[in-house]
């Protein structure tokens, strides 16, 4: 899961503890999508019962990733659980949190996220693309405009090193963890150096975690 701006909800609601409690009940749901929708409903109810000085203070976005079994293949998916109306983070949905599948739409560059993107045909196309091409899905929230430029630069530098044959353990989990973590570290340090206190959208300790379809976990940050 990825989440930003947790302090917006006040000191009396421990967001991380709430998320951990919900995660502990994930096995009670028949699928990753069912779990995602349960999280969305529970967040809508929990935050709907709270009072905020500004409506945008109740805004929250969560990235939940999972492998799904489709035709004897493990296919990764990213579910976006969010009440923001769009990536500008200027307004929240009055109806609360919604769930969207992101991988197929990202692969096809489709702006909409209809529910049928969870069908076997769409999921297997994602699987084929990941296995047949040098493809990486990249998702972020918090400050995409600031993040994407940094991430592009780091990824391009990685590709240059790869083209030179200079990469060490190019397929190792630690390498992929560094690709994911480094842009976050750079952006976090950037805003710490240049942004006025109280106006930072991102920051804190970065975390990385790699999960294999077989359930093997690896992390360079102790997670």
**What pLDDT digit, counting tens, does each position of 41-85 carry?**
999 999 988 888 888 888 888 999 999 999 999 999 999 999 999
Region 140-146 average pLDDT: 81
**What does the pLDDT average to over 152-178?**
89
99 and 36 part of one domain: yes
Considering the domain architecture, whether residues 219 and 154 belong to the same structural domain is answered as yes
pLDDT tier at 38, thresholds 50, 70, 90: very high
Computed over every residue of the chain, the mean pLDDT equals: 87
Q: Are 98 and 153 in contact (CB under 8 A)?
A: no
| Domain termination residue (choose one: 120, 139, 158) | 139
Report the number of distinct structural domains present in the chain.
2
Q: Are 159 and 196 in contact (CB under 8 A)?
A: no
Average pLDDT over residues 163-187: 89
Total-model pTM = 0.83
The predicted structure's pLDDT at residue 12: 58
- Residues 34 and 51 both lie in one domain: yes
Say if residue 92 is in the same domain as residue 160: no
Answer for the pair 91, 56: CB distance below 8 angstroms, yes or no.
yes
Nearest residue to 33 via CA among 75, 73, 92, 4: 75
User: 26 pLDDT exceeds 90?
Assistant: yes
Domain boundary among 103, 124, 139: 139
Q: Give 180-187 contacts, CB < 8 A, sequence gap 24+.
A: 180/208, 181/206, 181/207, 181/208, 181/220, 181/221, 182/154, 183/147, 183/150, 183/151, 183/154, 184/147, 186/150, 186/154, 187/143, 187/146, 187/147, 187/150
Q: Do 124 and 152 belong to one domain?
A: no
Residue 8: pLDDT band by 50, 70, 90 thresholds? Answer: very low
Residue bearing the bigger pLDDT, 138 or 39: 39
Residues 130 and 153 in one domain: no
Check whether residue 84 and residue 108 sit in a common domain: yes
Q: Which residues pair with 218 in a beta bridge?
A: 210
Same domain for 75 and 152, yes or no, is no
Q: What share of the chain has pLDDT > 90, as a percent?
A: 53
Whole-angstrom distance, CA of residue 176 vs CA of residue 205: 18
Residue 11 reports pLDDT greater than 70: no
8-state DSSP, 84: B
Domain residues for the domain of 106 are 1-139
Among 103, 118, 139, identify where a domain stops. Answer: 139
Please give the average per-residue pLDDT across 152-175, as a whole number.
89
Helix or strand holding residue 45 (H, E):
helix 32-48
């Amino acid at each position: 899961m990825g989440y930003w701006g947790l302090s917006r909800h006040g000191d009396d609601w421990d967001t991380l503890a709430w998320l951990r409690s919900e995660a502990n009940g994930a096995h009670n749901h028949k699928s990753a999508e069912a779990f995602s929708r349960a999280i969305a409903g529970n967040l809508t109810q929990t935050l709907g019962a709270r009072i905020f000085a500004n409506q945008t203070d109740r805004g929250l976005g969560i990235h939940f990733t999972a492998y799904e079994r489709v035709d004897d293949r493990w296919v990764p998916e990213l579910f976006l659980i969010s009440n923001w109306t769009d990536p500008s983070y200027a307004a929240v949905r009055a109806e609360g949190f919604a769930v969207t599948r992101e991988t197929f739409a990202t692969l096809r560059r489709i702006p909409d996220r209809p529910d049928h993107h969870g069908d076997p045909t769409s999921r297997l196309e994602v699987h084929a693309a990941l296995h047949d091409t040098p493809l990486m899905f990249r998702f972020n929230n918090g400050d995409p405009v600031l993040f994407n430029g940094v991430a592009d630069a780091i990824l391009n530098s990685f590709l240059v090193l790869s083209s030179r044959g200079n990469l060490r353990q190019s397929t190792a989990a630690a390498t992929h963890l560094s690709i994911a973590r480094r842009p976050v570290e750079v952006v976090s340090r950037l805003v710490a150096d240049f942004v006025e206190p109280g106006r930072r959208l991102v920051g804190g300790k970065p975390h990385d975690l790699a999960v294999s379809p077989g359930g093997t976990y690896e992390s360079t940050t102790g997670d």
